[in-house]
Amino acid sequence: MTQLQARGLVKSYGPTPALHGITLDVAEGEIVAVTGPSGCGKSTLLHCLAGILRPDAGEVVWRDQRIDTWPEAARSRLRRTEFGVLFQFGQLVAELTAAENVALPLLLAGTGRRAARTAALTWLDRFGVAELADVRPGEMSGGQQQRCATARALVTEPRVLFADEPTGALDTLTGEQVLTQLVRLAREQRTTVVLITHEPRIAAYADREIVLRDGVIDHTGLGLDASLAGGAR
Ligand SMILES: Nc1ncnc2c1ncn2[C@@H]1O[C@H](COP(=O)(O)OP(=O)(O)OP(=O)(O)O)[C@@H](O)[C@H]1O
């Protein structure tokens, strides 16, 4: 089943064009990597798909519903429930512990405190950082922070996870470790993932790679092709 569709997306920032007509289908449970040179429109595409930005023209369709025309409050609710969003710097709340950070999206969605904490501990454990439950982000390494942020993005068990360079701030080995965990858990949950990356090695974890150039899709390929092009894994 198709989970998410972009139909002829066009977006400019004032005089600066970013997307020139992107059409794309993402299947349920599919992991798609969006790659391409700096400035080619990757983040803009992700933000349009996630309902953060409204395209100037074209449509974003999620499970047969056109969402780009929804009011901001409805799109924001969608991002708190059915969608998960993860950025390069995990954006954990500095004053909260890891468990409180991970529980936060559930509390915002109305889950009770005890159930939210239990789920947070489960997800921290899945990312191998259960022992950090009561630690604040300032006392964690970058990799530990990003594991917590990834746990937070998945704790609501979103249908679609949007990740913008989620391992871009980490060293190669740590980045790959976090990403393999993310991909494994996403596959277990049948979560659809749209992942932006600069690195062919990272794109190799995806089912499909979509390469943008100057705001259009240059070509698409299998993740495996990217791995071969980028050298041995
Ligand atoms: N808020 C903004 N205001 C003005 N121009 C912007 C803004 N955001 C992006 N752009 C421009 O839109 C184009 C696409 O940017 P976008 O960030 O989507 O590309 P990207 O492929 O994600 O780049 P990078 O890999 O460097 O993050 C670029 O020319 C960029 O300079």
Asked if residue 14 has pLDDT above 60, the reply is yes
Q: Is the distance from the beta carbon of residue 9 to the nearest atom of ligand 1 less than 6 Å?
A: no
Asked if residue 156 has pLDDT above 80, the reply is yes
pLDDT for residue 230? 39
- Ligand 1 centroid–CA 57 distance in Å is 17
- Ligand 1 centroid–CA 220 distance in Å is 21
Q: Mean pLDDT over all residues of the chain? A: 90
pTM of the model: 0.90
pLDDT for residue 223? 61
Mean pLDDT of 122-148: 94
How deeply is 3 buried, as exposed, middle or buried, from its count of CB atoms within 10 A (0-12, 13-18, 19+)?
A: buried
Question: In angstroms, rounded to a whole number, what is the distance separating the alpha carbons of residues 48 and 67?
Answer: 10
Question: In angstroms, rounded to a whole number, what is the distance separating the alpha carbons of residues 54 and 40?
Answer: 18
How deeply is 35 buried, as exposed, middle or buried, from its count of CB atoms within 10 A (0-12, 13-18, 19+)?
A: buried
Asked casually if ipTM beats, i.e. exceeds, 0.90, the reply is yes
**Which band of pLDDT confidence, cut at 50, 70 and 90, is reported for residue 229?**
very low
Protein residue whose Cα sits closest to atom 6 of ligand 1:
13
Q: Is the distance from the beta carbon of residue 47 to the nearest atom of ligand 1 less than 6 Å?
A: no
Residue 162 corresponds to which amino acid?
F
pLDDT for residue 172? 83
Please give the torsion angle defined by the CA atoms of residues 20, 25, 29 and 33, in that order, rounded to the nearest 10 degrees.
-30
Phi, psi of 200 (to 5 degrees): -55, -35
What Å distances lie between residue 228 and 198, 204, 214, 231, 232, CA to CA? 15, 8, 24, 5, 6
Mean pLDDT of 27-56: 95
Handedness of CA 144, 150, 152, 155 (dihedral sign): negative
Protein residue whose Cα sits closest to atom 30 of ligand 1:
39
- Residue pair 23/6 in contact by the 8 Å Cβ criterion: yes
pLDDT for residue 233? 32
Question: In angstroms, rounded to a whole number, what is the distance separating the alpha carbons of residues 38 and 51?
Answer: 22
Tokens 């794309």 -> residue: 24
Of 12, 13, 88, best ligand 1 pocket probe by most atoms within 8 Å of the beta carbon: 13
- Ligand 1 centroid–CA 41 distance in Å is 6
Mean pLDDT of 126-138: 95
Question: In angstroms, rounded to a whole number, what is the distance separating the alpha carbons of residues 106 and 163?
Answer: 19
Q: Is the distance from the beta carbon of residue 49 to the nearest atom of ligand 1 less than 6 Å?
A: no
Provide CB contacts within 8 A for 180, sequence distance 6+. Answer: 205
pLDDT in tens, 46-99: 999 999 999 999 999 999 999 999 999 999 989 988 999 998 776 899 999 999
Asked if residue 226 has pLDDT above 70, the reply is no
In the chain, which residue ranges form alpha helices assigned H by DSSP? 42-49, 72-81, 98-108, 113-126, 142-154, 172-189, 200-203, 223-229
CA 166 to chain centre: 7
- Ligand 1 centroid–CA 122 distance in Å is 36
Tokens 């390494």 -> residue: 141
DSSP 124-152: HHHTT-GGGTT--GGGS-HHHHHHHHHHH
